Chains A and B, each alone.
Chain A
Amino acid sequence: MKIESSPLRKFNSPSSLLVKSPILQARNLSFSFDGFTKVIDDVSLTIYDNEFIGIAGPNGAGKSTLLKLLVGLLNPSSGSRAFTCNLSECVGYYPCRPCIGYVPQQNSLDERNLPVSVRDVVSMGLYGQIGLFRKLSDENISQIDKVITESGLKSVENEQFSNISGGQKQRTFMARALVSNPHLLALDEPVSSVDQKGKEEFYSLLSHYHKKHSLAIIMVLHDLSDLTQITDRTIFLKNKVLYDGPSKKLGKDGLLKLMFGENLER
């Protein structure tokens, strides 16, 4: 989709982050499924390099819808979005495919006993880049080996995907999103059906990628205590943005107040 090329101003950005360069800017995004009820209402935000953002909000607040708008799975009813990661493939187009990695909700991929291995699933992260009718190159295979090892999946890489644990599945999805070396990783409730141990392993891996690879992360999360502990910045959504700022400043109590109807000052 073509976008307008005019520069966008910065929105809702915490002052501590102004020195960082923006990766994605969204301006006055609105979205409605039926043309009447706005699921997303005039949302503006900027995602900066190396940020770790959590999106919180009650059910039906539009969290997953916002993420899908940002990754380009949905088109806004009004407003604009632009990637600013300065890759030549991205100029004038949305979304910037090489710039973004996406981890969808696990329940969106139902269990169908698909005859694919963990390694196959991770490889799929490169299919969009290598082009139609082409095979994986040696360089691609090295990339896949590297991300499989780094994600702790080496021991199960040849297992059938449907046979591994929930935590391993989520790490596989993350490895699939990361194999193309994106600048921004978008995750939609990645640990909603994962046990505590799997959750901790997943967060640890996420933190590793965030720090070691300077990866910007935006993640929809239900668990409020996890969200304030692991993210740098929280966006609280109730169709509109009710809070956008440092997670520490908000804290778990602040999030609970927002969740149950008492707005904090921005």
Chain B
Amino acid sequence: MFEFLSYSFGIRALIGGLAVAFACSILGVFLVLRRLSLIADGLGHVAFGGIALGFYLNIYPIYTAMASVIVGAFGISYIKQFNVYSDAAIGIFESIGLAVGVVIVSLALSQPSTLFSYLFGTILGLSNNDVLLALILSSVVGISLFALWKELISITVDNDFSRVAGLPVDSLEFVFTLLTGITVVLAVKLIGVLLVSSMIIIPASAAIQLKREIKQTFLFSILFALLSVIIGLQLSFSYNLAPGGIIVLVSIIFLLLSVVVNRLKPNTQKSFSISSWKHSD
């Protein structure tokens, strides 16, 4: 069992994968509850443009992807001020990202095969530096989201009330957007542009399906994401399957199981409260 751990690239894939799954699964709960799930998909495509630019300019592509995603994330927020609907704003930046990537590929100045590896991820090809970067950035994302969780939950529930109650809503939105950008770039490296949103949306959706209290929702989301990576990597090794795709398919199984569990549950809701664990954590 877990024979992939006998290879150093397998260990790197596991550590990098778990780090990214951790960040994605926490962020995902906020994004899904705020109905912003598609922003991950849009930013993934923006990252593709940034990666292509990195190849073109001969800069480490993750850096250019990070820059482009942050510009994209704030661009999406900015153009919404001009009466552009959220989904349209995401679509516009998604198109820009893809268009830039395709145009750079057509210039034939980059290496299309390497560039296209970012479409499907390179979790088995992670270097030590990639793993270190994934660990650092996912720690930053995880710590920030946990530190600000009560404020982020409040703006998730009711943005207007939070503003009147004195929360610095604009600053919180800024930090949240930044963390979303960082997480998307990390996930792009591992599972690719085309599957980035699944890593963020599916474990969170599976956890929300269970209708547990908020702390348990986060814990289940993390658990589903981590198990998807572990099981997905093992299946990938055992049956020579694309790791990014199989990780996502495993997470889909967790989602289906959650739906079934939710259906089988009696109609009485479990009592719960955030406040009950205020002093225990």
Contact = CB atoms under 8 A, between A and B. Distances in A.
A124 B164 contact: no
B166 interface: yes
Interface string A84-128: 000000000001011010101000110011111101110111011
A260 interface: no
A120 B275 contact: yes
B74 interface: no
A46 interface: no
Contacts, number: 107
Contacts of B35: 112
B269 interface: yes
Interface string B158-171: 10111111111000
Given A102-B164, A102-B165, A127 B150 contact: yes
Interface stretch (A36-44, A153-161, A199-207, A236-244): A153-161
B217 interface: yes
B158 A160 contact: no
Interface in A123-171: 123-125, 127-129, 132-133, 135-136, 141, 144, 157-160, 163
Interface residues of B, number: 35
Contacts of B163: 72-73
Q: Looking at A116, A144, A160, which has the most chain B CB atoms within 10 Å of its CB?
A: A116
Given A72-B164, A115-B214, A120-B214, A158 B271 contact: yes
A66 to B, nearest CB: 15
A138 to B, nearest CB: 9
A102 B158 CA distance: 11
A245 to B, nearest CB: 28
Contact of A114 (B33, B160, B164, B276): B33
B154 A117 contact: no
Given A109-B157, A113-B211, A160-B269, A73 B164 contact: yes
14 contacts: A109-B158, A112-B33, A114-B33, A115-B217, A117-B213, A117-B271, A119-B274, A124-B153, A125-B165, A127-B154, A128-B162, A129-B166, A141-B275, A173-B161
